[in-house]
Chains A and B, each alone.
Chain A
């Protein structure tokens, strides 16, 4: 197995999350990492922005 195919398998096994399901109708959600809250935002142009 080549390194490239190992990487492909690894990437394929990553969990997939639907951003719209995470944010709901208003396109905003908080994601917690340890004691920090991050804001996940779907913009008008359909981009995804994660900010502290």
Chain B
């Protein structure tokens, strides 16, 4: 495999550095048509937050994103393994495009989309990303509002900040 083909897989950060919507976007990207069981779980998770109908629409929109990306993409998006804690370059672009689009930052989203697909499809791609991102954001708000089950075995432990990486600093490999 040549360098150009793997450039999009370069580690640029950690999944734990992302916000909820971005992290969910990366999980969807990783599991799509790769792990049917995990994909079904993500669908169920979305349905539990949005309801069956809105979740079904969001999945269809994500399918459109992947289809447009596959058909009009500059190259195939590089994805890390489903359980990998690293964040790849392509995954970072995708995650930031989805969140920018969902936040109404249309021009930023279109610029990021143009890194993924050919320029004349960038607005279309960003538009789909906005719809999918807003669904993820709505589901995230529902999940955040739900009471968390208490864990009696861990009452005294310091709660981890969700924006923190899922690995301790000491166990992180050095970034070069």
A positions within 8 Å CB-CB of B: 43-47, 49, 51-52
- Residue-wise, chain B 50-84 has the 8 Å CB interface mask toward A (1 for contact) of 00000001001101100110001000000000000
Across chains A and B, the number of contacting residue pairs, with CB separation under 8 Å, is: 26
Check A51–B67 contact: CB distance below 8 A. no
Check B57–A49 contact: CB distance below 8 A. no
Question: Measured between C-beta atoms, what is the minimum distance from B81 to chain A in Å?
Answer: 26
Given contacts A44-B63, A44-B64, A49-B68, 12 further A-B contacts (CB under 8 A): A43-B60, A43-B63, A43-B67, A44-B60, A44-B61, A44-B67, A45-B57, A45-B60, A45-B61, A45-B64, A49-B124, A52-B120
Question: Measured between C-beta atoms, what is the minimum distance from B62 to chain A in Å?
Answer: 9
List, in ascending order, chain B residues with CB within 8 A of A43's CB.
60, 63-64, 67-68
Question: Measured between C-beta atoms, what is the minimum distance from A28 to chain B in Å?
Answer: 11
List, in ascending order, chain B residues with CB within 8 A of A47's CB.
64, 128
| Sample (26) of A-B pairs whose CB atoms are under 8 Å apart | A43-B60, A43-B63, A43-B64, A43-B67, A43-B68, A44-B60, A44-B61, A44-B63, A44-B64, A44-B67, A45-B57, A45-B60, A45-B61, A45-B63, A45-B64, A45-B128, A45-B131, A46-B60, A47-B64, A47-B128, A49-B68, A49-B124, A51-B72, A51-B120, A51-B121, A52-B120
Q: Which residue of B lies closest to A47 (CB)?
A: B64
B positions within 8 Å CB-CB of A: 57, 60-61, 63-64, 67-68, 72, 120-121, 124, 128, 131
